[in-house]
Amino acid sequence: MEEFKKIGVLTSGGDAPGMNAAIRAVVRAGIHAGFEVYGIRRGYMGMIEGDIIPLTSQAVSGIIQNGGTILQTARCKEFFTPEGRKTAYDQLVKFGIQAVIVIGGDGSFTGASIISREYDIPIIGIPGTIDNDLFGTDYTIGYDTALNTVVEAVDKIRDTASSHGRIFFVEVMGNEAGFVALRSGIACGAEGILIPEEKGQLDRLRKYLAERARQKKSSIIMVAEGEEEGGAMTIASIIKREYPELDIRTTILGHIQRGGSPTAFDRVSASRMGAAAIEALIDDQKSIMIGIVNSEIVHVPLNKTVKMHKDVNRDLLKLAEILV
């Protein structure tokens, strides 16, 4: 095993509830293993600018229940360039940081994989994104909390929808993936679910509206923002044109899905993955992502997780259709 002393941790890309629980686990498991742990603020931006602070066990106390990330996060254009990554590497050398734990999504892991290869730095990824769109793990940190936020909001929308006999198109996050729409749709008993992974859903929706909608007190149609027609507003206007007699409303849940106190599930997953990242470094692993598959910790090469596509669970899609 290479003798590490100093390691860094950062959060990058979109924030997700549970990132703080992961930072806390990295810091405490790291200190327990004999490392000095440094927080790199604002993702790769802070790496380039040398915005790096020592993290003690006390520095991460009282954060497990908080959404967002105490290290803050950013999207950093300079990191796309070899010059930007060279500056970032020089800063790591200056601070004596020999390995980095990156908490983020597939963009963050692409950057991590590149700098790890260019400068032979061990980098361990922890999947942190509400989208759940990372190959090699059943769940990403923040996904469960986002689902619960959506369910709570849609339950409220359902009250007003059924009082007025309305059809609500509810747009949830998921630019390229429909994980949030699919699972929250099932949990809310949605009458329709439109996601980027499934084509031709508008026709299915038309069929439903022609045959069933009038028998129902209300209808909730969950729409992932990246769905093929272009989101809930577009779908709602198409349907309104075709069925002018229907009482239609649209709600875009937006950034509310990113915030809030993480669920117990996200806190525990984040804690396990944070500690597993430290174990992976001790075991001399380089350039891997920690995942959870069938409740067990797994290691997936970073370049594989960014190259491979994770599909939605087709059984859940079928189930959603049966249960309408």
| Catalytic position from the list 15, 51, 106, 131 | 131
- Per CB under 6 A, the segment of 60-68, 109-117, 229-237, 249-257 that binds ligand ATP is 109-117
Token reading at 50: 């040398």
87 touches ligand ATP (CB under 6 A): no
Secondary structure (DSSP) of 133-180: --TT-S--BTHHHHHHHHHHHHHHHHHHHHHHT-EEEEEES-SS--HH
Residue 120 annotated as catalytic: no
Q: Which is nearer to ligand ATP, 117 or 249 (CB)?
A: 117
Cα distances from 115 to residues 87, 104, 111, 187, in angstroms, run 11, 15, 6, 40
Decide whether 144 or 191 has the Cβ nearer to ligand ATP.
144
Q: Does 86 help bind ligand ATP (rule: CB under 6 A)?
A: no
Closest by CA position to 17, among listed 115, 122, 149:
149
Q: Is 216 in the site for ligand ATP (CB under 6 A)?
A: no
Q: What is the nearest approach in angstroms of ligand ATP to the Cβ of residue 271?
A: 20
Q: Binding string to ligand ATP for residues 120 to 149, with x set by CB under 6 A, is what? A: ---------x-x------------------
How many CB atoms neighbour CB 197 within 10 A?
A: 21
Minimal CB distance residue for ligand ATP: 107
Quick count: other Cβ atoms within 10 Å of Cβ 223? 32
Choose between 39 and 174: whose C-beta lies nearer to ligand ATP: 174
First-last CA distance in the chain: 55
Site residue total, ligand ATP (CB under 6 A): 18
Strand bridging mode 296-301 / 288-293: antiparallel
Q: Rounded to the nearest 10 degrees, what angle do helices 264-282 and 143-164 cross at?
A: 160
Binding test (CB under 6 A) with ligand ATP, winner from 4, 35, 38, 44 = 44
Q: List interacting residues with ligand ATP (CB under 6 A).
A: 12-14, 44, 75-76, 79-80, 104-108, 110-111, 114, 129, 131
